[in-house]
Structures are given as C-alpha cells and as structure tokens.
C-alpha cells in the first residue's frame, strides 16, 4: 500500500470514527452515572432526521444542529424518566426508543417530504462541510509532512473537531471537576451520594441530558455533514458499535477514542479489503471485518484481554431508604 | 409495593391502562401525519380481525411472537435478560433451512419436520450457549454479549448466504426454494371447517408447534425439578447455590433453552411461508418477544394473548398502510415501540396512583368496622 492510499484510509478513518466517538462519549456520561443506554442508536437516528429536516426547512446547518440536539435530548429525557423517575427497566426503555426512532423517522419523513422517508437533498451551504484554510495549499508542497497535514489535520467539518475536543474535555470533566466526581460516584454507589446530601435524581438527569446532546451532534454529523440529508435507517448499527467501543474501552474517555479509531479504521479498510488477498491469511470475508468490533468486544468481555467492569450501580434504579 | 394491589388490577387493569396510553400517543402520531386517528384505529382492528384472511395473518405473525416471547420468558425466570433472541432465531433459521435443503427432495414434510425442529432448536441453542457460558463462567454481562451476538449472527448469515448457500445465477442473498418436503402444510383446510375463510394466508402448522411449546414451557418451569432450580436462580442466586443448585449449569442450560425456543421461531417464516432462507426472516420479532414476555408476565397463557395483540398490530398496521397512503408500514414499528415503552419500561408509571386509590377504597370500606371493634 503506497503513501497516498494510506493517507486516504486514515482520512476516512477519522470521518467514520467521528459519529462513533460522539455516541460513545454520550454513552460514557450516561453509563458512568448508572443509566445503561442501548438507545444510542435510536437517539442518533432521531437526531439525524431532525437535523436533516431542520436544515432543509430553515436552510441553515446550525438550525439543523440545534434541532438534532433538541430531539435527541427529548429522547434522552424520556429514557431518563423511564429509568430514574418511573424506575423501569433501562434495557427495555432503550429497545423501545430504538423502535420509536426507527419507525417515526421514516413515517414522518414520508408524510412531510414524500421522498420515501428521505429528507430533501441539501445544498452545500446548508451542510457542515470542511473548508481548507488558505495556507493549506502552500503546505501541500512540503514533502511527506505537507500531505499529512492537509489531508488529516485540516479541512474537516466543524463537528469532527468538536468530537475530538470532547475527548480531553470529557476526561477533565470526569476526573478533575466536582461534577465529574459526583457523576462517577452516582454510578458506583448512589446511596453514598444521597447520604452526602446530593440529589441522585438531578445528577442522573444531567447525565442523560449530556448523553442526549452528544448523540444529537453524532446524528447531525451523519445527516448534514457526512451526507446531504437524512436517509432511511442511516445509523445502520453505529449506535451499537459505539456501545461496543465504550465497553471495549472500559468506560474511560481516552481509550474510548482509540477504540472508536480502531473500529472506524476497520470500517474504512473493509471496503478496500473486499476480495483482496492478504499475506498469510488469504482472502478475508468482508462480513468478518464488519463483525470484528463485536467479536473483539465479546473477547474482551470474556476476560481474555484485560477485564471490563461496568459501573457497579449501572442498570439499577435508585430507591431511597424508607 | 407489588403485593398491595389485587391480582386483577396487577394483571389486567394496569397493563390495560398502559396499553391505552400507548395507543393514545400512537393516535397523536397519526394526527402529526395528518390523518384521523379514530378512522386509523378502526382500519387496524378491521384489518386484523374483520375477515378470515385478516385473522389468518394475525395468527401467522403471532406465531413468531409466541416463540420469541417464550424464549425471553424462560431466560427471565432464570434472572437473565436475553435480548439475543433475534440472532438466535436467525441462526435457528439456518438449521431449519439446511434440514429442508438436504431432506426436502427425498422425504415428505412430516419426516422433515422433526429434523427441522431438532436442527432449528439446536442451532438456536448453540447461539445461546456462548453468552450463557460467558455469563456463568466468566461473568460477562449477558445483555451486552447477546447484543454483540445479534450482530455477529447477522454478519455470519450474510457471509454464508452470499458465499456458500446462494445458488448459481441468483442475485439476492437467499437459498434456493426448498423441494416439496420442505413445505409445512397451511392451516387453510382446518380452519375452513370452522367456517372461517383464510385462503391465501401464510398461517401454517408451526402455529401448533408454538402452542405445544407453550405447554412444554409451562411444564418445565412449574412442574419439573429443573424448572424449580431455574426459578430459584432467578429469585436469589445465593439461595440457589446454598440449596445445592449448580448456578453455572442452570444458567447455561436456561440460555440454551431460551436460544432453542428462539431458533424454533424460524420454522414459521422459513419452512411455513417463504420456503427458503433469507436475511430478514426475523424482522425484529426477537425484540418484540421482550415486550410479549413482559406483558404476558412470563406465563405461557399471557404470552399467547400478548403475542396475538402484537400479531394484530402487525397485520392491522399492514392493512392501515394499504388503506391510508400517507401512513407507511413504519407506523407498526412506532406503535410497537410505544407499546414496549409504556407497557414495558414505564409499566410502574401508574402504580403509585393506583395503589393510593385502592388503599383509599380499602380504608373507606374497612374503617367503620375497625372503629366498631375498638
């Protein structure tokens, strides 16, 4: 593989990891606070639809982003209400919201836009597209470093940078602020947090709202940055891959980034590896590469590469002692 | 808190209220699309039960949900949340299809069926074994591993269908159509005896296989020693261990039974309707099974009733999409989601209010006597 095609694969790795990273970080906040969320997929999908519809109706990408985030937060709040206030089963709630999102996006899309569930094709000024700054062209002439810089570092859409900035920010929030300490505590031992006079309910609601907002950005990225509008079921399991990445990274922000980059890289190379002969291994079926994130996560969960310990109070509704 | 309500409130009134709320919200969705919700509701009910054909389709869909509902319920009795019925049913479909492809041309259906049952259940059980083993022995959470196994199953089937099972010259990823021995008989003749005209519906013999499974699950859970150990594990793993029940063995076998029941689901679409194996034989039935088991309170009778309700939603929704052009088949998915949300995740939402109401009723009825006694 030559230098240029390596660069191209790495470039598409970045693009494909972005939605995974945003969704996995979203799940990180929620699960660290003790709310399991298998509804990442549904929230992303609903946000993608809202962003696509919003951008095409208002003509502004930022309005699309706002709507995407808003709808995803509403989904998050429903999940929060079911898991925190109504003390329901968090897995069932996640499954239900995935169903609602999968059905409602196509139903409403067809009823409102009449294009088989798609939202209208967006023009370039209604999307988040990368623009290369003026000095990028001059940089390109520098050997090796120039192309690396102009292909990999510059010229991405705003949302890609937001995703990667969220990694150190999340680390800082979780491990260096009072809020982060409490958030982690409420996922491990809510009774202790309650005893300290801090509201478990409020903390967990804050977590699901942050989770909703980040999933909203992830969905918006899919609909109005990576493509020019919403497509039927456009998340295609990315929410579950993000969940796998979150577990694979043992619920830690920086490892989450590397897990998402790895899974993004698998996705980017799957297309190129199709039908290609690899040395020693022979021909690898493309379906195997697609399943690899899930297989790796199961192997990790089985305890063969380290050990994945979920937050201790995860999935359990908190009941105050009476 | 659960025990303060009379059983009929717990098993009938509460689910009914939850369903009603789910349908009201679904009605609001219909309004958002710009149609009349009452007309839509009538079209759905009429589509599902208004004709022999509608009933046939309703029961055909219900068959899938009985199998997956039983699958989820057996796991829940053991304290396990198996959300992998989807993948287990798909892999079970592989077993059923292989049996039909091998034997279909040589022997009649009643000889193929036992082999298909063993292979479908066996393949599904094998797909349930690994998550069960990982949960029991290595402590990996069964919810997460079964999600992963659903996707691994989908990729595996895609690869098998595209690279191995697809006959030459076929475009789509599906097997050849089975020979005559791979076709389960339809129930047309039988139900026509009762005066219902169910021509052209895919309702087939696997409906009875599903009902037999209900009976077997009831016997297993409530009438056998192993069922007792399953329920003990579900209520208190530490008590089970203290009583001499082997936790790992119980968990693994329960997951295999759960997977086997999910695998049997594939009989209905593969051998009963399509007569070939495709990638979308399960169509979310594994997830619907979660709602069916929850609403049916994990009891076979409740599961059959809940499965018929969801079968009605499927068939009625299809008719609705046909009669109201602005509403697509996706309405079914929305209603399913809302039913799972309100009857499943939010099942306790109205419990405090109801408990307060019945306590107040109770007090009003009892207090004069209590005062008289004092």
Rounded to 5 degrees, what are φ and ψ at A278? -100, 145
CA distances from A193 to A37, A76, A204, A251, B60 (A): 21, 23, 11, 20, 51
Question: Of chain B residues 172-211, which have a CB less than 8 A from chain A?
Answer: none
Residue B272 CB neighbours (<10 A)? 24
Residue A235, in any domain of the structure? yes
> How far does B81 lie from chain A, in Å, by closest CA?
9
Q: What is the pLDDT of residues A91-127, one digit of tens each?
A: 889 999 999 999 999 999 988 888 877 888 888 878 8
Place of tokens 């005896």: B193
Q: Which residue has the higher pLDDT, A283 or A49?
A: A49
Do the Cβ atoms of A95 and B287 come within 8 Å?
A: yes
Q: Which of A29-33, A139-143, A229-233 has the lowest mean pLDDT?
A: A139-143
Rounded to 5 degrees, what are φ and ψ at B325? -60, -30
Strand A282-283 and strand A277-278: pairing? Answer: antiparallel
Contacts of B334 in chain A (CB under 8 A): 99-100, 103-104, 107
Distance, CA of B132 to CA of B88 (rounded, Å): 12
B239-254 per-residue burial string, b: 16 or more CB within 10 A, e: under 16: ebeeeebebeebbbbb
ipTM reported for the complex, 2 dp: 0.88
Residue A91, in any domain of the structure? yes
For residue A154, is pLDDT > 90?
Answer: no
For B321-344, what is the mean pLDDT?
87
- Please tell me if residue B341 touches chain A, with a CB cutoff of 8 Å: yes
Do the Cβ atoms of B341 and A93 come within 8 Å?
A: yes
- Please tell me if residue B139 touches chain A, with a CB cutoff of 8 Å: yes
Helix, strand or coil, per DSSP, at residue A282: strand
Confidence tier at B369 by pLDDT (50, 70, 90): very low
Segments forming the whole domain that contains residue A186: 3-125+135-301
Nearest to A302 among B140, B326, B331 (CB): B140
For residue A322, is pLDDT > 70?
Answer: no
Q: Which residues contact B37 (CB under 8 A, 6 or more apart)?
A: B26, B27, B28, B30, B31
Helix A40-58 to helix A3-32 angle, to the nearest 10 degrees?
A: 110
Name the burial class of residue B1, with classes exposed (0-12), middle (13-18) and buried (19+) by CB atoms within 10 angstroms of its CB.
Answer: exposed
Supply the pLDDT for residue B374: 40
For B176-188, what is the mean pLDDT?
87
Supply the pLDDT for residue B199: 66
Supply the pLDDT for residue B372: 43
Do the Cβ atoms of B291 and A92 come within 8 Å?
A: yes
- Please tell me if residue A231 touches chain B, with a CB cutoff of 8 Å: no
Nearest to A95 among B83, B332, B347 (CB): B83
Selected for mutation to probe chain B from A84, A104, A267, A290 (highest B CB count within 10 Å) is: A104
Do the Cβ atoms of A288 and B147 come within 8 Å?
A: no
Supply the pLDDT for residue B294: 86
Q: Which residue has the higher pLDDT, A197 or A304?
A: A197
CA distances from B218 to A86, A126, B230, B298, B308 (A): 31, 58, 13, 10, 18
Contacts of A283 in chain B (CB under 8 A): none
The runs of H, that is alpha helices, within chain A are 3-32, 40-58, 61-80, 90-113, 135-139, 145-148, 158-176, 178-188, 190-195, 200-221, 238-248, 253-273, 286-301
Do the Cβ atoms of B32 and A288 come within 8 Å?
A: no
Do the Cβ atoms of A298 and B140 come within 8 Å?
A: yes
> How far does A147 lie from chain B, in Å, by closest CA?
36
Helix, strand or coil, per DSSP, at residue A141: coil
Total structural domains within chain A: 1
- Please tell me if residue B337 touches chain A, with a CB cutoff of 8 Å: yes
CATH of the domain at A256: 1.10.3470
Q: Which residues contact B187 (CB under 8 A, 6 or more apart)?
A: B56, B198, B203, B204, B205, B207
For A33-45, what is the mean pLDDT?
94
Do the Cβ atoms of B344 and A291 come within 8 Å?
A: no
Q: Which residues contact A316 (CB under 8 A, 6 or more apart)?
A: A34
Nearest to B159 among A86, A100, A285 (CB): A285
Distance, CA of B50 to CA of B42 (rounded, Å): 10
Supply the pLDDT for residue B239: 93
Residue A93, in any domain of the structure? yes
CATH class, domain B36-323, is mainly alpha
How far, rounded to the nearest angstrom, does the alpha carbon of residue B46 sit from its chain's CA centroid? 23
> How far does A232 lie from chain B, in Å, by closest CA?
11
Contact assessment for residue A177 and residue A183, using Cβ atoms and an 8 Å cutoff: no
H or E stretch at A283: strand A282-283
Question: Of chain A residues 127-166, which have a CB less than 8 A from chain B?
Answer: none
Confidence tier at A3 by pLDDT (50, 70, 90): confident
Closest CA to A154 of A176, A134, A184: A134
- Please tell me if residue A209 touches chain B, with a CB cutoff of 8 Å: no
Do the Cβ atoms of B32 and A89 come within 8 Å?
A: no
A44-80 per-residue burial string, b: 16 or more CB within 10 A, e: under 16: bbbbbbbbbbbbbeeeebeebbbbbbbbbbbbbebbb
Name the burial class of residue A152, with classes exposed (0-12), middle (13-18) and buried (19+) by CB atoms within 10 angstroms of its CB.
Answer: middle
The structure tokens listed for B259 are 């997977």
Give strand pairing partners of B204. Answer: B186
Q: Is the dihedral of CA A119, A120, A121, A124 positive or negative?
A: negative
- Please tell me if residue A24 touches chain B, with a CB cutoff of 8 Å: no
Supply the pLDDT for residue B373: 44
Contact assessment for residue B281 and residue B161, using Cβ atoms and an 8 Å cutoff: no
Q: Which residues contact B344 (CB under 8 A, 6 or more apart)?
A: A88, A89, A92, A93, A95, A96, B290, B291, B294, B295
For residue A192, is pLDDT > 70?
Answer: yes
Q: Which residues contact B110 (CB under 8 A, 6 or more apart)?
A: none
Do the Cβ atoms of A99 and B326 come within 8 Å?
A: no
Distance, CA of B72 to CA of B76 (rounded, Å): 6
Closest CA to A203 of A181, A182, A188: A182
For residue B1, is pLDDT > 50?
Answer: no
Nearest to B159 among A98, A100, A287 (CB): A287
Supply the pLDDT for residue B27: 92
Contact assessment for residue B268 and residue B60, using Cβ atoms and an 8 Å cutoff: yes
Nearest to A106 among B140, B294, B330 (CB): B330
Do the Cβ atoms of B328 and A98 come within 8 Å?
A: no
Could you tell me which chain A residue has the CA closest to the CA of B339? A96
Q: Which residues contact A106 (CB under 8 A, 6 or more apart)?
A: A117, A232, A233, B328, B330
For residue A305, is pLDDT > 50?
Answer: yes
Taking one residue from A and the other from B, the number of pairs with CB-CB distance under 8 angstroms is: 151
Do the Cβ atoms of A240 and B147 come within 8 Å?
A: yes
Supply the pLDDT for residue A2: 74
Q: Which residue has the higher pLDDT, A77 or A318?
A: A77
Contacts of A302 in chain B (CB under 8 A): 134, 138, 140
Contact assessment for residue A217 and residue A40, using Cβ atoms and an 8 Å cutoff: no
For residue B371, is pLDDT > 50?
Answer: no
Residue A308, in any domain of the structure? no
Residue A130, in any domain of the structure? no
């Amino acid at each position: 593989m030559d230098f240029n095609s390596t660069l191209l694969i790495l470039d598409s790795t970045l693009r494909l990891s972005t939605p995974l990273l945003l969704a996995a970080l979203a799940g990180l906040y929620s699960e660290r606070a003790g709310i399991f969320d298998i509804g990442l997929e549904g929230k992303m999908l609903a946000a993608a639809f809202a962003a696509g519809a919003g951008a095409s109706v208002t003509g502004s990408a930022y309005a699309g982003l706002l709507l995407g985030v808003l709808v995803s937060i509403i989904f998050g709040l429903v999940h929060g209400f079911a898991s925190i206030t109504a003390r329901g089963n968090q897995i069932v709630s996640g499954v239900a919201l995935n169903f609602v999102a999968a059905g409602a996006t196509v139903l409403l899309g067809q009823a409102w836009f009449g294009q088989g569930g798609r939202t209208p094709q967006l023009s370039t000024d209604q999307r988040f597209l990368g623009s290369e700054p003026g000095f990028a062209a001059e940089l390109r002439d520098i050997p090796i470093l120039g192309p690396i810089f102009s292909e990999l570092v510059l010229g991405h859409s705003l949302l890609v940078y937001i995703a990667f900035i969220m990694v150190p920010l999340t680390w800082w929030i979780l491990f260096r602020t009072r809020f982060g300490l409490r958030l982690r505590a409420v996922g491990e031992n809510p009774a202790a947090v309650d005893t300290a006079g801090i509201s478990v309910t409020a903390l967990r609601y804050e977590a699901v709202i942050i989770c909703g907002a980040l999933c909203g950005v992830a969905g918006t990225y899919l609909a109005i940055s990576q493509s020019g509008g919403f497509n039927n079921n456009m998340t295609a399991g990315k929410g579950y891959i993000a969940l796998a990445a979150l577990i694979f990274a043992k619920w830690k922000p920086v490892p989450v980034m590397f897990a998402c980059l790895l899974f993004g890289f698998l996705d980017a190379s799957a297309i190129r590896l199709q039908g290609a002969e690899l040395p020693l291994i022979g021909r690898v079926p493309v379906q195997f590469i697609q399943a690899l994130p899930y297989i790796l996560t199961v192997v990790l969960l089985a305890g063969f590469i380290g050990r994945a310990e979920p937050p201790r109070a995860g999935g359990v509704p908190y009941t105050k002692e009476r | 808190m659960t025990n303060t309500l009379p059983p009929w409130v717990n098993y009938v009134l509460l689910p009914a209220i939850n369903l009603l709320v789910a349908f009201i919200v679904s009605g609001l969705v219909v309004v958002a699309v710009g149609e009349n919700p009452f007309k839509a509701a009538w079209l759905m009910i009429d589509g599902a039960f208004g004709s022999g054909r509608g009933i046939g389709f309703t029961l055909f869909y219900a068959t899938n949900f009985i199998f997956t509902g039983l699958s989820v319920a057996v796991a829940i009795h053991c304290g396990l949340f198996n959300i992998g019925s989807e993948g287990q049913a798909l892999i079970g479909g592989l077993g059923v299809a292989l049996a039909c492809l091998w034997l279909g041309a040589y022997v009649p259906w009643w000889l193929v069926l036992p082999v298909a049952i063993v292979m479908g259940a066996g393949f599904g059980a094998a797909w349930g074994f690994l998550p069960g083993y990982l949960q029991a022995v290595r402590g990996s959470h069964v919810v997460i591993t079964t999600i992963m196994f659903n996707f691994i199953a989908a990729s595996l089937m895609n690869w098998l269908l595209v690279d191995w099972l697809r006959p030459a010259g076929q475009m789509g990823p599906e097997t050849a159509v089975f020979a005559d021995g791979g076709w389960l008989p339809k129930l047309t003749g039988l139900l026509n005896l009762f005066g219902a005209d169910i021509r052209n519906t895919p309702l087939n013999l696997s409906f009875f296989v599903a009902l037999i499974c209900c009976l077997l699950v009831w016997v297993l859970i409530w009438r056998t020693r192993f069922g007792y150990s399953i329920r003990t594990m579900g209520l208190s793993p530490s008590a089970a261990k203290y009583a001499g029940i082997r936790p790992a063995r119980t968990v693994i076998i329960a997951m295999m039974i759960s997977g086997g029941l999910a695998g049997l689901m594939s009989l209905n679409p593969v051998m009963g309707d399509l007569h070939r194996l495709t990638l979308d034989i399960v169509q979310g039935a594994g997830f619907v099974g979660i709602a069916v088991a929850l609403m049916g309170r994990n009891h076979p009778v409740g599961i059959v009733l809940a499965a018929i309700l969801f079968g009605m939603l499927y068939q009625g929704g299809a008719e609705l999409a046909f009669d109201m052009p602005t509403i697509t088949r996706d309405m079914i998915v929305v209603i399913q989601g809302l039913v799972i949300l309100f009857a499943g995740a939010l099942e306790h939402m109205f419990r405090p209010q109801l408990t307060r109401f019945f306590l107040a009723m109770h007090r009003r009825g009892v207090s004069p006597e209590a005062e008289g006694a004092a």
